[in-house]
Amino acid sequence: MLKEVIATRYITPLREGGSLPGLVEADDLGTYVMKFTGAGQGRKTLVAEVVCGELARRLGFRVPRLVTIGLDPVLGLGEPDQQVQELLRSSGGSNLGMDFLSGALGFDSLAFSVSPEEAGRILWFDALVNNVDRSWRNPNLLMWQGEVWLIDHGATMIWHHNWPGAETSAARPYDATDHALAPFAPDVAAAAAALAPLVTEELLAEVTAEIPDVWLTDEPGFETPDDLRRAYARPLVARAASVHDSVQGIEGTR
């Protein structure tokens, strides 16, 4: 399970984020970007952040450390912004936090360069988890201390919105036409050769064990949180070996 901290102060909303993530201080004196269970798509977005973030980390990508943040809705009472107040009020209990990378810059393909090797690794990973939110319009990559960091994995694994159709949905190709790193000659084949063998049932068991039980209860068709954990693992293990063949929209990969 992820480390748990308790929110002690709401600092400010991060206005760029569609889901209105906020900056908070916690009882360990850390500063975290907090994503709320009460926001838009709710807890499935947070589960996706945990599965993809913790998988990416174990595959060697740089991802801010994830924690769960306990929130007492009382913290919202003094908030002047009504939207923020409602978000805090509806998000009591466990929320997601990630280390705030102070001073990080948003990735800009005109200002930064990425090697074909690194572009290939990131693009392959995005194909694996079906990330539709790493486009040149909204790369969800940060430059921090001279390196690329991966954030925002909420819009991935579309199949978890319809479990009965998950197998069919997970078999669909990945369209990389608009991917933020498509212009960097991504070597997807090399990434697949290096990373696919690492995506095993054992690794996914470790990754899905990080998801808090409270975000896995009451899912129709699943009796226990562990049943649902296995459902998250299955399409990823199944896709790993061949997903590079289904990447569309970048030259030289087919």
Starting from the edge strand earliest in sequence, which strands make up the sheet with 141-144, in order? 105-106, 141-144, 147-150
Q: Which of 19, 90, 135, 169 binds ligand ATP (CB under 6 A)?
A: 19
Tell me which of 5, 26, 33, 250 binds ligand ATP, using CB under 6 A: 33
55: nearest Cα among 203, 243, 188? 203
Q: Which of 9, 12, 18, 209 binds ligand ATP (CB under 6 A)?
A: 18
- What residues contact 101, with CB distance under 8 A and at least 6 apart? 64, 142, 144, 149
Neighbour-count burial of 97, counting CB atoms closer than 10 A to its CB (0-12 exposed, 13-18 middle, 19+ buried): buried
The interface with Mg ion within residues 116-145 (CB under 5 A) comprises: 140
Under the criterion CB under 6 A, does residue 17 sit at the interface with ligand ATP? yes
Closest by CA position to 150, among listed 54, 39, 26: 54
Q: 233 near 160, Cβ under 8 Å?
A: no
C-beta of 33 vs 182, nearer to ligand ATP: 33
Q: Considering only residues 138, 205, 206, 226, which one is a binding residue for ligand ATP as defined by CB under 6 A? A: 138
For residue 55, which phi and psi values (nearest 5 degrees)? -70, -45
Alpha carbon distance 10, 25 (integer Å) = 7
Q: How far is the CB of 168 from ligand ATP (least distance, A)?
A: 26
**Which of 157, 111, 115 lies closest to 136, judged by CA?**
111
Quote the least distance from Cβ 48 to ligand ATP, whole Å. 10
The site map against ligand ATP for 86-105 (x = CB under 6 A) is ------------xxxx--x-
- Of the two residues 97 and 231, which places its CB atom closer to ligand ATP in the complex? 97
21 binds, among Mg ion, ligand ATP, none (CB under 5 to 8 A by kind): ligand ATP
Considering the complex, what minimum distance in angstroms separates the CB of residue 152 from Mg ion? 4
Report which residue's Cβ sits closest to Mg ion: 152
49 counts as binding Mg ion under rule CB under 5 A: no
Return the residue nearest ligand ATP (CB atom).
17
Kindly identify the residues of this chain, within the stretch 160-219, that bind ligand ATP according to CB under 6 A. none
Radius of gyration of the chain (CA): 18
Residues in the chain: 254
Between CA 180 and CA 184 the distance in angstroms is: 9
- Among 49, 54, 126, 152, contact with Mg ion (rule: CB under 5 A): 152
List contacts with ligand ATP (CB under 6 A).
14, 16-19, 21, 33, 64, 98-101, 104, 106, 133, 138, 140, 142, 151-152, 154
